[in-house]
């Protein structure tokens, strides 16, 4: 397992090959300016292979369109599936971007339980190779 903290996230590559991106509660806001840093750290951890991603936005699941415009093309190259941890009661409603990702980019699913998310993402480990 290897983890790297950026200015806004902690990115971990688990021994089984699942990437977890967790927002740092005291990290800087995610803007287009920090996307290159995120992509560079992800590339350092995973190289050129595609891995399943577990995203934990810690109550801040949104980003502006400039962030998505810069990150989504890279996301397609790096991730075979995306599980997003979300608790609507505490985090509020999630914008419809998860459905857009699922429809247009890669299998994407919302979870309230991390163990369930990891189980689902594990099925994409073989397809990522």
Residues with pLDDT less than 70, the chain: 58-64, 88-104, 126-129
The closest of 34, 61, 45, 57 to 12, measured between CA atoms, is 45
- State the pTM of this model: 0.81
Query: What is the secondary structure of 1-65 as a DSSP string?
Result: -EEEE-SSEEEEE-TTS-EEEEE-TTSPP--GGGHHHHHHHHHHHHTTS-EEEEEE-TT-----H
pLDDT digits (tens, 9 = 90+) for 25-52: 787 788 888 889 999 999 999 998 899 9
Structural domains in the chain plus CATH codes: 2-128 (3.30.750.24)
The closest of 20, 128, 19, 16 to 80, measured between CA atoms, is 128
d(CA 3, CA 30): 19
Angle at which helices 65-78 and 35-46 cross, to 10°: 10
């Amino acid at each position: 397992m290897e983890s790297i903290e950026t200015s806004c996230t902690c990115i971990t590559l688990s021994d089984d090959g699942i990437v977890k991106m967790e927002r740092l509660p005291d990290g800087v806001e995610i803007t287009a300016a920090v996307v290159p840093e995120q992509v560079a750290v992800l590339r350092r951890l995973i190289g050129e292979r595609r891995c399943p991603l577990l995203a934990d936005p810690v109550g801040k699941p949104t980003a502006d369109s400039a962030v998505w415009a810069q990150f989504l093309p890279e996301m397609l190259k790096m991730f075979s599936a995306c599980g997003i941890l979300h608790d609507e009661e505490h985090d509020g409603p999630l914008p419809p971007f998860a459905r857009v990702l699922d429809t247009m980019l890669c299998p994407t699913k919302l979870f309230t339980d991390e163990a369930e998310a990891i189980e689902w993402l594990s099925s994409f480990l073989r397809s990522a190779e």
